[in-house]
Amino acid sequence: MKTANILLSLLLSLSLTLSGCNLLGQLTPQEPSPQAPTQTEAATEELIPLVTYTPTDEPEDTPTETPVAATEIPPVVEEAPISIENYQQLTVVEQVPSENPEEIAWADSPDETLSVIAEQRIISYDQATLAEISSITLPEEMMVYGISPFGNFIAVTNDMMTVQILDASTLDLHIVIDPQTPINRVHFSPDETRVLISSMDEWAAIEADLDTGAILQTYRGFETAAPVYDVIYSHYTDDIVWIARGTAQVQNRASQEMSAIFGHEDWISSFSIDPARQFLAIGTAKTTESGYEPGIQLWDLNSGSQGRFIASTNLPNSLFFANDGSVLIGTDGANLNVWNPGNGQLLQSFGGHLESIYRAMLSPDGGSVLTVSFDEQMILWQLRP
């Protein structure tokens, strides 16, 4: 398998080069440069109201970093998605050594598995305990593009012209997809019914049916001077997101209508669209009154207006709205942070890792988070009373 090691994946994914790693709605790790960039893209400075959800008891205190340990965990309470009402209950419930996973897939029911691609293997874990259930070694000649959201399939190639969809548990061939163009990147849809194949010959993305391999449609309209780009499914909404260096643009699947162009001073590290399709959150860095800072830039997706910038200590390597849109969850160095997107307040910073988290993922039911770090540990976070 021609999958790069994690450090190389870190550098290549951030520049959106042809690596084997993904963002499920998430791009990749890199520490921001302390100096200001040489080229700045203009942005509208109008502040916009963000997220109409109002908590019944919004915290006013300065957020604190909360170290947690995976010991003496109380019984699981009634399952509920993470929200502004219960985020304080996030707790480390399991922590195990990891092999620097490059891709993460989470089955859509709690009694199934959690799968990762790491060190030329597909490893399946029990969702509740993170106990390893099985593993399968991938052939060296396979170039792996990614694993499907529920862990059922992987996308590979051996010629850069066709995509082979394999059963992730057996490596049996499921379907071959011919996009009629050299392949740049491949991403699975959140519902695991389609794949999106970006072209190396033009700014285009070919969508194919995962069952039949039939080409459904081709998306165009995004243009950039950048030599590398990617196009990824939005997690909550029926959109695809084009990204090239510091530029992002959202395209609706049904109408193929393009949004405004969202320009940033620095590279984009991660993104998320809220479930109501009102706001776009981008992990990046910019010049502020305090200097050059990493953080989260919020945008009004429909008007294209620039919202507030939420400064952080480190570039957010992963970023996602909660299922109800009331909180924004992301990485900040070794910590997992929870922000209120309505006012930009950092609600709480959860400590558990010793080194930077390079990937985080929200479970399909919205009640758990998995983080993997350069400390070679994998942590499962869940709500506990």
Q: pLDDT (tens digit, 9 = 90+) per residue, 122-147? A: 999 999 999 999 999 999 888 999 99
Structure tokens at 146: 């990614």
Q: Is 1 a domain residue?
A: no
In this prediction, residues 345-353 reach a mean pLDDT of 97
Q: Which residue range forms the structural domain that includes residue 99?
A: 6-33+45-383
- pLDDT beyond 90 at 67: no
**Rounded distance between C-alpha atoms, residue 365 and residue 232, angstroms:** 21
Band of pLDDT at residue 109, cut at 50, 70 and 90? confident
**Rounded distance between C-alpha atoms, residue 20 and residue 212, angstroms:** 24
- pLDDT beyond 70 at 155: yes
**CB contact at 8 A, 95 and 352:** yes
Q: Is 144 a domain residue?
A: yes
Question: pLDDT averaged over the chain?
Answer: 84
Q: Round to the nearest angstrom and report the end-to-end CA distance of the chain.
A: 43
Residue whose pair of structure tokens reads 């985020």 in the numeric block: 87
Percent of the chain exceeding pLDDT 70 equals 79
Band of pLDDT at residue 79, cut at 50, 70 and 90? low
Residue whose pair of structure tokens reads 């996973």 in the numeric block: 101
Report pTM: 0.80
Q: Is 283 a domain residue?
A: yes
**Rounded distance between C-alpha atoms, residue 91 and residue 380, angstroms:** 8
In this prediction, residues 247-268 reach a mean pLDDT of 97
The pLDDT score that the predictor gives to residue 48 is 39
Q: Is 370 a domain residue?
A: yes
- pLDDT beyond 80 at 65: no
The CATH number assigned to the domain holding 147 equals: 2.130.10.10
Band of pLDDT at residue 117, cut at 50, 70 and 90? very high
List 136's β-bridge partners, or say none: 122
Considering only 59-73, 325-339, 354-368, which range has the smallest mean pLDDT? 59-73
Band of pLDDT at residue 232, cut at 50, 70 and 90? very high
Band of pLDDT at residue 230, cut at 50, 70 and 90? very high
User: Closest Cα partner for 10 from 267, 351, 233?
Assistant: 267
- pLDDT beyond 70 at 23: no
**CB contact at 8 A, 154 and 144:** yes
Structure tokens at 226: 């950048």
Q: Is 40 a domain residue?
A: no
Q: Is 39 a domain residue?
A: no
Q: Is 38 a domain residue?
A: no
**Rounded distance between C-alpha atoms, residue 250 and residue 232, angstroms:** 10
Residue whose pair of structure tokens reads 């998306």 in the numeric block: 219
In this prediction, residues 310-325 reach a mean pLDDT of 97
Mention every residue, 6+ apart, whose C-beta is less than 8 A from residue 109: none
**CB contact at 8 A, 14 and 269:** yes
**Residue 107: phi, psi to the nearest 5?**
-60, 155
**CB contact at 8 A, 68 and 350:** yes
Burial (Cβ within 10 Å: 0-12, 13-18, ≥19) of residue 197: buried
Single-letter amino acid code for the residue at 131: A
Considering only 93-107, 193-207, 335-349, which range has the smallest mean pLDDT? 93-107
pLDDT per residue as tens digits for the range 2-12 = 333 333 343 33
The DSSP symbol for 258 reads B
Number of domains in the chain: 1
**Rounded distance between C-alpha atoms, residue 140 and residue 121, angstroms:** 10
**Rounded distance between C-alpha atoms, residue 284 and residue 269, angstroms:** 6
pLDDT per residue as tens digits for the range 275-314 = 999 999 999 999 999 999 999 999 999 999 999 999 999 9
